[in-house]
Amino acid sequence: MPTCHPLAGVVQWVNERDLHVKVDLLGAGDSDPFGPEWVRGDRIAERVPELLAGLEEGTCRGHRTSAAAIFAADLGRQLVAFAAGTAYLTGRAPQMAARRLWVRAGEGGRLDRLALRRPDVAVLPGDPMAHRPGVTVVADENELDRWFMSSVVAALEPVVAAVRAVIRYGTRQQWSMVADGVHWALLLAAGEVGHDQRAAWLRAARMAELINSDAPRMIARQRPFPLVLPDRLPERAERVFLVRGGCCFYYRYGGVKCASCPLETDEQRERLLLQGRPTPQRA
């Protein structure tokens, strides 16, 4: 990993933690990721039938719609979550150019790793990396978010279209699953470093809305679910959880709904989130 790259520090920070996101930052002398499990960003669309089949067989027990939903969620978690979390934590954001990124289809067909080859980066005024090659200075956080989210949309637009071409799973549903990754990332990052999760939610909602910046791609249905966790310090007892904008249909073959499922009742959601903990009071 190139240690002089503006994102080197945050990549190391992410990889050292159990955040369900792993990133390889490739330098000029590093080889491209090798093997059939790796797919370059500009070739994901052409491999959609194969990738969905791997998920359908390996994870979704033959449920094709669930495979499409989980595929969109994985794209959100691997591509969007890292970029959004980096912007939130550091004031720097990578350009997610399709020709300079790869995703890995791992166990069960799930996308489980991201590789980036020296991505261009946007930073805020005053950043010490502002004068390095490949770095763009933007005016403020709003412009930073717009800068990286436009590259995310450009990278994923042909993938979303390719999924819709092979299965009756709508583009709006796909983009909503992608947007879940933004909210998930910022809530996780805020919780990890002790920042205000409610403020992180508002930033995530603004980021996600940029998916619609030049066309109406999705309807934002994500919502926060605050809950007091009694085994945490009193000043940090409340945690905000994500209720997703769309369902992955796991319950159709797994028998239960996820705690983040929009189809679940809030009463059952609370029970699921508090399993193994003392009975709390709601926030």
pLDDT score recorded for residue 20 = 86
Residue 281 has pLDDT above 80, yes or no: no
pLDDT in tens, 190-218: 999 999 999 999 999 999 999 999 999 99
Q: Is 200 among the domain residues?
A: yes
pLDDT band at 277 (very low <50, low <70, confident <90, very high): low
Give the amino acid at 247.
Answer: C
Backbone torsions φ then ψ of 233, nearest 5 degrees:
-60, 145
For position 17, which CATH number holds? Answer: 1.10.510
Residue 72 has pLDDT above 90, yes or no: yes
Q: Is 183 among the domain residues?
A: yes
- Percent share of the chain, pLDDT over 70: 96
The DSSP secondary-structure symbol of 77 reads I
Q: Is 144 among the domain residues?
A: yes
pLDDT band at 112 (very low <50, low <70, confident <90, very high): very high
pLDDT score recorded for residue 1 = 62
Q: Is 218 among the domain residues?
A: no
| Number of domains, the chain | 1
Beta strands in the chain (DSSP E): 23-26, 38-40, 92-94, 101-105, 111-117, 121-123, 135-137, 223-228, 238-243
pLDDT score recorded for residue 237 = 81
Task: Give the Cα separation of 45 and 42 in Å (integer).
Answer: 7
Residue 96 has pLDDT above 70, yes or no: yes
CA angle 25, 29, 32 (to 5 degrees): 60
Contact 269, 244 (CB under 8 A): no
DSSP-derived 3-state class of residue 7:
coil
58: Cα separation from own chain's centroid? 21
75 torsion bin: left (phi>0), alpha (psi -120 to 50), beta (else) = alpha
Task: Give the Cα separation of 11 and 116 in Å (integer).
Answer: 10
Quickly list H helices, 194-273. Answer: 197-209, 251-254, 266-273
Structure tokens at 73: 């969620």
Residue 123 has pLDDT above 60, yes or no: yes
pLDDT score recorded for residue 278 = 57
DSSP-derived 3-state class of residue 178:
helix
Structure tokens at 20: 């369900």
Closest residue by Cα to residue 14 from 240, 185, 206, 194: 185
Residue 187 has pLDDT above 90, yes or no: yes
- Percent share of the chain, pLDDT over 90: 90
Parent domain of 19: 7-213
Residue 53 has pLDDT above 90, yes or no: yes
Q: Is 233 among the domain residues?
A: no
Q: Is 82 among the domain residues?
A: yes
Task: Enumerate the β-bridge partners of residue 117.
Answer: 26
pLDDT band at 280 (very low <50, low <70, confident <90, very high): very low
Q: Is 91 among the domain residues?
A: yes
- 101-105 and 38-40 strand pairing: antiparallel
Mean predicted confidence (pLDDT) in 2-23: 91
Question: Please, what sign has the CA dihedral across residues 53, 173, 77, 20?
Answer: negative
Residue 178 has pLDDT above 80, yes or no: yes
Q: Is 258 among the domain residues?
A: no
pLDDT in tens, 129-150: 999 999 999 999 999 999 999 9
